[in-house]
Structure 1
């Protein structure tokens, strides 16, 4: 996991959208493990998060969101600015 819940300032710093699920603790971003492809990570996310409302391949990471979850912790270098 590279990003979890974010503050408004942290979300702006990483270029997040104003209505990001990260702001409410409803989303997390993941990058592939060494040797893992984005396709493999996407498929793994679909398997691990069957109730997710969003699983998006954002090019260099997979964004997983579940509206109403609200329990993703603050995480990431700029998440708590």
Structure 2
């Protein structure tokens, strides 16, 4: 799987695929398969390497982060 080499700082454990599928049905969306595979194993995952630099349209360098909300109550 493509996310196997990512260093997980923390997560809320696993979650059933059924929970994600009910979410998709409720909001009439289809989430990517790789996302669902990741979240079923690492619900609400936060990675150690969670930010990146980019250059915007004004040629200025900025930084942004990546975070995943969890399914369920925490």
Instruction: Mark yes or no: TM-score above 0.5.
Output: no
User: TM-score category by the smaller chain?
Assistant: under 0.3
TM-score by length of 1: 0.23
Name which structure has the greater RCO, CA cutoff 8 Å, separation 6+.
Answer: 1
The structure having more radius of gyration, on CA atoms, is: 2
TM-score by length of 2: 0.24
